[in-house]
C-alpha cells in the first residue's frame, strides 16, 4: 500500500509505503529531473508511524513555546489527516 501525504508543514513531500512486515516513511527526492523515493524510517505499526511523523514535523517547525507547539501539533495533524490519499494497494506476496 502507498499513502501519499503530500507536502507537509516542513515543506517536505512524504509518503507511507508498506509491505507484509512494516510501514516505511519515504521522502521524495528529485535528482536531474528523476523522482525517487527514499525510505528513512521504519515502523511495525501505524500508531508509532503517526507519532513519529508528528514529532519530527514539530522538531522541524518554528514552534518555540508550549502554546506554539500545541498549535503546530494541531496544524500538522490536520495536514496529515486532510492530505493523505491512498494511491495504490498492491496484492500481498
- This prediction's pTM: 0.78
**In the predicted structure, residue 28 carries a pLDDT above the cut 90:** yes
pLDDT given at position 88: 67
**pLDDT for residue 91 is more than 70:** no
**If you write DSSP's letter for every residue of 13-65 in order, what string do you get?**
EEEEEE-SS-EEEEEEEEETTEEEEEEEEEESSHHHHHHHHHHHHHHHS---S
- Helix, strand or coil for residue 1? coil
Q: pLDDT of 75-85, one tens digit each?
A: 888 877 777 77
Average the pLDDT over 6-34 and give the result.
Answer: 91
CB neighbour list of residue 84: distance below 8 Å, 6 or more residues apart: 3, 4, 5, 6, 16
> In whole angstroms, what separates CA 52 from the centre of its chain?
9
Q: How confident is the model at residue 93 (pLDDT cuts 50, 70, 90)?
A: very low
Residue 64 has pLDDT above 60, yes or no: yes
Amino acid at each position: 500500500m502507498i499513502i501519499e501525504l503530500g507536502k507537509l508543514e516542513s515543506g517536505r513531500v512524504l509518503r507511507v509505503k508498506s509491505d507484509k512486515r512494516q510501514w516505511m516513511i519515504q521522502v521524495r527526492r528529485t535528482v536531474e529531473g528523476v523522482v525517487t523515493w527514499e525510505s528513512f524510517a521504519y515502523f511495525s505499526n501505524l500508531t508509532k508511524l503517526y507519532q513519529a511523523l508528528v514529532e519530527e514535523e514539530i522538531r522541524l517547525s518554528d514552534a518555540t513555546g508550549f502554546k506554539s507547539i500545541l498549535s503546530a501539533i494541531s496544524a500538522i495533524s490536520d495536514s496529515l489527516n486532510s492530505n493523505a490519499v491512498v494511491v495504490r494497494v498492491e496484492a500481498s506476496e
